[in-house]
Each structure stands twice: as C-alpha cells, then as structure tokens.
Chain A
Amino acid sequence: MTIQELVEGRIDFKGQKTADDIVRVVLITSTFLSFVIGFAFSSLMITMSTFALCTVALSLVVLPPWPMFNRHPVTWLSESVQEQK
C-alpha cells in the first residue's frame, strides 16, 4: 500500500455503515456502563477510566481500515457499456 492509501484508510460503503453503527452503539453503552460501574464502586476514577478504555478500544476497532469493512467493494460498470454512448 502507498503511504497515501495507509493514511487515507478507505473503506467501502457497507463498511462505513457498519462502522457508524458500531460507533453509535459503543459510545452510548459505554457512557451508561461507566456511570453505573463507577457509581457501584463509588469511585469517579473508575468511571473515567472505563470510559477512556472504551474510547480507545472503539478507535482501534473503527479507525483502521480493517478487511471486515472492505467485504463489499463497489461494483463499477464494465467499460463496454460506456463506449456504446
């Protein structure tokens, strides 16, 4: 891969939708979870560190262009259809 492809990290459209869904679900559940766990242990440190850990884990899953986000590449039309115009 070129450096530009590495930095860009392109994923296909279905992968983008999957990534978006993962982000939404993980962020909302981690907010709820870190509040509840911190309240149960009565420590604000635990709240903030679980939330930070969830954020780091989420970034590792969603930010790099993993192969699972590239399972449905765009099917472009073949060149012969263009030439008929």
Chain B
Amino acid sequence: MHSIYARANGISGLWSTCVMVLLGAVALSSFLFNADSKGSLDIVSLKVFHSKTRRYPFRNEEIGFVKFNLSADLTPLFNWNTKQLFVYLEAEYTNAQGVNNTVVIWDRIVRRKDDATIDIVQKEKYKLRDLSGSFSNVHPAQYSLKYSVMPYVGVLTYGEAARTTEAIDFPDARDSVS
C-alpha cells in the first residue's frame, strides 16, 4: 500500500471477489421467484399441401400450414434478473415408428414486461414438415407454447405456458391452388 499502484493492486483483489459475490447473490435470488404463467392455445385451421423441398427442387414433400389463436400472459415471469423471454410454439407428435417429434413453428423474443402479453391469431413462422416428407402415417399432434427465461446472471429456466386441449389429426395432403 506504499504507492498508488500498490493500493490499486490491493483494492482490485478484494473488489473482484466482491463483484463475484454480488453477481452470485443476484443469480441465487432468481430461485426466490417461482412464477408460472398460463394461457390458451387453439388451432384455427391446419392444412397440408404438396410442395417441393427447398434443397432438392425435384423432390416432393408435404408441408403443414397452421393458423393458431394464442393468448398468454407472461408478465409473472419478469423479475429483476430477467433479461428476456424466449417463447416458442411447438408441434409434438409421434410418427409411425413410435419416435417423438417436436417441430418449432413460431417463436418470439420478449424483452420487456410491457410486451409480455401475447394475444394473436397468426400463421406459422417456420415450416411444419416431417423428416420423412409426408404426414400420412403420423399420429395426431399436440401444440404447446413453451418459454425459456433468460436471466442477466444465473441459471436458464423453462416451462410450458399453454397447450391444445386435444390432439389434432393431420389432414390429407392436397395440391395447392396456383
């Protein structure tokens, strides 16, 4: 502590420890907030069309077009340590071989508490397609709204906010009207 440099060096040791303790306390405080949010999700319409795959334009595949009615109140998830919410809509089904598939068809990033209520009737953002290229042998699908809470410091938490009440069957594929 005899010179300015020595005092600065001495301060920086305890200071970095204090910063880490402070951030650790903030991360631990996230566990005090156990909020759960609920909403409702309905599928307005679901159509399946024949189309070409994006990569190989000579190959045919079936694409699903979903229109959904979604309302959810996600404001309870915002605490002082919430940086943003990642909200996504998933289609879950088992295929003919018994394998569980989940396809994300819509997502949104919510950065502020004011934007945390969702009340939309929308179509999908991403393609709803099966890896095999066809929905003909696939079991009926459930749709669910899931969220990830991303903190400033700490553990990533996740949950489910809404779910369709019953599984919806995929209709037969038809040719699109051109």
Residue pair A27, B22 in contact (C-beta under 8 Å): no
Residues of A contacting B10 in the complex (Cβ-Cβ under 8 angstroms):
20, 23
Contact with A31, one of B11, B21, B80, B152 (Cβ below 8 angstroms)? B21
A interface secondary structure, majority: helix
Residues of B contacting A63 in the complex (Cβ-Cβ under 8 angstroms):
4, 7-8, 11
Q: Compute how far the CA of A55 lies from the CA of B16 in the bound complex, rounded to whole angstroms.
A: 11
Interface residues of A in 9-54 (CB under 8 A from B): 9-11, 16-17, 19-20, 23-24, 27-28, 30-31, 34-35, 38-39, 42-44, 47, 51
Residues of B contacting A34 in the complex (Cβ-Cβ under 8 angstroms):
22
Interface residues of B in 1-43 (CB under 8 A from A): 1-4, 7-8, 10-11, 14-15, 18-19, 21-22, 25-26, 29
Residue pair A59, B11 in contact (C-beta under 8 Å): yes
B interface secondary structure, majority: helix
**Which of the four size classes fits the interface of chain B?**
20 to 34
| B51: Cβ under 8 A from any A Cβ | no
Query: Would you give the 0/1 interface string for A49-75, flagging 1 where the beta carbon is closer than 8 Å to chain B?
Result: 001000100110011110000000000
Residue pair A43, B7 in contact (C-beta under 8 Å): no
Contact with B18, one of A9, A31, A65 (Cβ below 8 angstroms)? A31
Residues on B facing A (Cβ under 8 Å): 1-4, 7-8, 10-11, 14-15, 18-19, 21-22, 25-26, 29, 79-81, 152
Residues on A facing B (Cβ under 8 Å): 7-11, 16-17, 19-20, 23-24, 27-28, 30-31, 34-35, 38-39, 42-44, 47, 51, 55, 58-59, 62-65
